[in-house]
């Protein structure tokens, strides 16, 4: 009885122990699964961080402080960049100018230029160790977008970026042109032209009495605002006008010019007064002027002829023909016979003369 009762107990205890042992592997597997997943996730994040973060070992981290540079013709332009890398090797720097076919501006290892520069860039380029490019003596042809690439041997991915450079000419002092600076009130339109000799990519602003003008009913600007048209001039338009010209590298303002507007009545008085004065002056000059007649004394000599020997109608003393057209000689005649006087008859002169 005793033995039979012990056997079942021992059997049940073994069964229980076996059941507990069979549960332990399952519990370990359940506890190990989350840990394994967590490790895989962390490895995945590290890999992504290494590829995506440019500050890591696998890529060059490039920084561009200013992506738009304004340059002046003949001046300098600094295309500034910076890069970070864990590698101690010198960077390979390459600058390209975007065109239909990109132009290599310069390529260097650190500050040492590789190869020969293009003729248009010789003696005009300087490369800094951080990748910055300095351009001297700017030309209009330098205007454009520049791509920069910095690569290091130990890094898988190079750093890349772009900078836009504009090159403009400085503005000369502008001046205002208009057909007439004096106008009659309520007359036709007047056009003011803001002109200048030098300057590119210019914009214009107009001022009246020092205050900025805007498009109004009577003040009309051309599309580029270079021309100002004042419609139907009024007395209120009598003022000083100026224009300012601006471009990316500077601005200049013209000297002020005055537009004078007269009332119609005042102008008529001025014109009528001036006309009367001019008429009086002309009349006075004409009244006081007489033509001068110059007669050469001693050049002409009159000769009295004998009426008995010539036609009385043409040679009588005092006839119109004799008085109006006396005969003239280059020398005075010399008479040989004396003059004979007879009572009641006119004097007779002999024709004999030498």
The alpha carbon of 325 is separated from its chain's Cα centroid by a whole number of angstroms, namely 80
Q: Rounded to an integer, what distance in angstroms lies between the CA atom of residue 138 and that of residue 168?
A: 9
Task: Using a cut of 0.75, tell me whether the model's pTM lies above it.
Answer: no
**Tokens 């012990």 found at:** 6
How many CB atoms lie under 10 A from the CB of residue 127?
20
Q: Please give the structure tokens belonging to residue 9.
A: 């107990």
Return mean pLDDT, the chain. 75
> Do residues 182 and 267 make contact, with C-beta atoms less than 8 angstroms apart?
no
pLDDT of residue 284: 78
| Burial environment of residue 307 by CB neighbours within 10 A (0 to 12, 13 to 18, 19 or more) | middle
Q: Please give the structure tokens belonging to residue 261.
A: 């507007």
Q: Rounded to an integer, what distance in angstroms lies between the CA atom of residue 132 and that of residue 142?
A: 16
Q: Which residue has the higher pLDDT, 287 or 337?
A: 287
What is the CATH architecture assignment of 175-264?
Sandwich (2.60)
Q: Is the pLDDT of residue 125 over 60?
A: yes
pLDDT of residue 104: 94
Dihedral over Cα of 252, 255, 256, 260: its sign = negative
Q: Which residue has the higher pLDDT, 256 or 267?
A: 256
pLDDT of residue 270: 61
DSSP output for 219-238: EEE-TTS-EEEE-S--GGG-
pLDDT of residue 43: 58
DSSP output for 70-107: EEETTS-EEE--EEE-S--SPPEEEEEE-SSS-EEEEE
Over residues 165-188, the mean pLDDT reads 91
Write the DSSP symbol of residue 142. G
The ranges assigned to domains in the chain are 61-168, 175-264, 296-354
Q: Rounded to an integer, what distance in angstroms lies between the CA atom of residue 313 and that of residue 311?
A: 5
| Topology of the domain comprising 61-168 | Immunoglobulin-like (2.60.40)
Over residues 154-172, the mean pLDDT reads 90
Q: Is the pLDDT of residue 168 over 80?
A: yes
- Domains 61-168 and 175-264 belong to one CATH topology: yes
At 291, the pLDDT band (50, 70, 90 cuts) reads low
Range with lowest mean pLDDT among 94-98, 289-293, 299-303: 299-303
pLDDT of residue 36: 62
Q: Please give the structure tokens belonging to residue 273.
A: 């007064």
Range with lowest mean pLDDT among 59-73, 100-114, 259-273: 259-273
Q: Write out pLDDT tens, residues 49-77.
A: 444 444 444 678 899 999 999 999 999 99
How many residues in the chain?
A: 354
Q: Please give the structure tokens belonging to residue 251.
A: 């601005």
Over residues 147-174, the mean pLDDT reads 91
Over residues 120-132, the mean pLDDT reads 94
Over residues 316-343, the mean pLDDT reads 48
Phi-psi region of 13 (alpha: psi -120 to 50; beta: other; left: phi over 0): alpha
Q: Rounded to an integer, what distance in angstroms lies between the CA atom of residue 96 and that of residue 294?
A: 94
Over residues 22-49, the mean pLDDT reads 53
């Amino acid at each position: 009885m005793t033995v039979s009762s012990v056997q079942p107990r021992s059997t049940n205890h073994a069964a229980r122990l076996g059941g507990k042992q069979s549960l332990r592997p399952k519990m370990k597997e359940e506890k190990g699964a989350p840990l394994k997943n967590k490790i895989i996730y962390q490895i995945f994040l590290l890999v992504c961080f290494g590829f995506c973060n440019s500050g890591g070992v696998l890529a060059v981290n490039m920084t561009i402080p200013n992506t738009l540079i304004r340059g002046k013709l003949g001046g300098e332009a600094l295309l500034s960049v910076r890069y970070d890398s864990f590698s101690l090797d010198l960077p390979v720097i390459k600058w390209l100018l975007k065109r239909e076919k990109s132009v290599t501006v310069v390529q260097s290892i650190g500050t040492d230029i590789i190869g020969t520069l293009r003729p248009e860039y010789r003696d005009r380029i300087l490369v800094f160790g951080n990748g910055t490019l300095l351009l001297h003596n700017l030309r209009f042809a330098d205007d454009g977008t520049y791509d920069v690439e910095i690569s290091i041997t130990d890094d898988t991915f190079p750093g890349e970026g772009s900078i836009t450079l504009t090159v403009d000419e400085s503005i000369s002092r502008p001046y205002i042109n208009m057909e007439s600076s004096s106008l009659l009130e309520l007359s036709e339109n007047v056009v003011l032209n803001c002109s200048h000799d030098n300057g590119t990519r210019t914009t214009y602003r107009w001022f009246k009495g020092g205050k900025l003008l805007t498009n109004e009913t009577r003040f009309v600007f051309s599309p580029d605002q270079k021309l100002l048209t004042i419609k139907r001039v009024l007395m209120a338009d009598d003022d000083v006008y100026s224009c300012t010209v601006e471009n990316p590298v500077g601005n200049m303002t013209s000297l002020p010019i005055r537009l004078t507007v007269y009332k119609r009545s005042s102008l008529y008085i001025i014109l009528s007064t001036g006309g009367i004065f001019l008429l009086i002056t002309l009349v006075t000059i004409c009244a006081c002027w007489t033509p001068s007649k110059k007669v050469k004394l001693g050049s002409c000599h009159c000769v009295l002829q004998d009426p008995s020997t010539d036609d009385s109608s043409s040679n009588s003393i005092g006839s119109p023909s004799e008085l109006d057209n006396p005969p003239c000689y280059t020398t005075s005649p010399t008479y040989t016979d004396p003059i004979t006087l007879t009572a009641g008859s006119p004097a007779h002169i002999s024709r004999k003369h030498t």
